Amino acid sequence: MAASSHNSTSHSDSSVGSESPHSSLMVEVMRTNCVLEAFGNARTVMNDNSSRFGKFLTLGYDPTARLLGASVSTYLLEKTRAVRHANGERTFHVFYALLAGLTHAERHELKLLHTQADTQADTQADTQA
């Protein structure tokens, strides 16, 4: 995964209530963390949500200390985990989320049957029927 960045110098407030565009921007910056972790975290033997990368967040402020934007850089991603992992471990969380969104027919067409997501989806479908 290449380093990614998101720069924001302006922001239109789509929130409701008295929240300012700047505090809304901070909420958006904080929400990026779960997205980044889906792409960079995985289950290991010692930790179900182990970070397999580093991230560096830079915040930009105006002279009155209002947040203007943010930039995030990722580094040291354990790239081999995308194709290979140890017994009892898993690859990055995002792959399982993507598999969970496929139907049984789509998994069959893509030759992705017999995965944990396939087993869980079939089990859930059986209990809901």
Question: Mind listing the pLDDT tens digit for each residue in 81-128?
Answer: 999 999 999 999 999 999 999 999 999 999 887 756 545 544 454 444
For the chain, the domain total comes to 2
* pLDDT tens track for 6-18: 433 333 334 344 5
Q: Are 17 and 82 in contact (CB under 8 A)?
A: no
Quick one: 63 and 103 in the same domain? Answer: no
pLDDT confidence of residue 12: 37
Q: Are 57 and 44 in contact (CB under 8 A)?
A: no
CA count, 13 A, side-chain hemisphere, 77: 20
Quick one: 29 and 43 in the same domain? Answer: yes
Quick one: 84 and 65 in the same domain? Answer: yes
CA–CA–CA angle 27, 49, 81 (5° rounding): 110
Summarize the confidence of residues 36-55 as an average pLDDT. Answer: 97
Quick one: 78 and 96 in the same domain? Answer: no
